[in-house]
Amino acid sequence: MASKRDSFNEINITPLTDIFLVLLIIMMVIAPMLDQQGLNLVVPDNVEVNQIKKENKFLNVTVSNDNKYIFEGHEIAVSDLESFIKEQSANFPDGMLIQTEGNAMHGTVVKLMDTARNVGVVNITISEL
């Protein structure tokens, strides 16, 4: 005589619940560790460049459209950039003013900013010509 099997009509969700609880615990442990690091920026009010030049002593470096660094009409070679900023930063205690022309590449400006930071320049202002 064949035994009659009971039909299984319910789905057991206990293993699925266990998986969700484990994932929840993992996310709760990892979430505080995901503190994003970044730059602390203070966005100032708009100020005219001429006003900045008159009031403060900034090292004024221009980044031209052809990605050259210019200080008082003289081009600064990329290889001499760090030594130049180190020498000039003593004469300009208020920091650096970077003026960029419209088609200057972002990477060129960032290289100038990084070099200035590595040398010890604390205040860097960026303006477009």
Domain assignment present for 105: yes
Domain for residue 43, yes or no? Answer: no
**How many domains would you assign to the chain?**
1
49/114: higher pLDDT: 114
For residue 99, what are the contacts with CB-CB under 8 A and spacing of at least 6? Answer: 49, 60, 61, 62, 63, 126, 127, 128, 129
- The stretches of the chain forming alpha helices (DSSP H) are 14-30, 49-55, 81-89, 106-119
Query: What pLDDT score does 46 carry?
Result: 64
**Which pLDDT does position 68 carry in this prediction?**
92
The pLDDT of 98-126, averaged and rounded, is 89
- Quick check: is 90 in a domain? yes
Q: Note whether residue 38 is domain-resident.
A: no
Stated pTM of the model? 0.59
**Structural domain boundaries enclosing 124:** 49-128
Q: How far apart are CA 111 and CA 78, in angstroms?
A: 9
Give residue 28's pLDDT: 92
> Is 33 a domain residue?
no
Query: In this structure, what CATH number is given to the domain that contains residue 69?
Result: 3.30.420.270
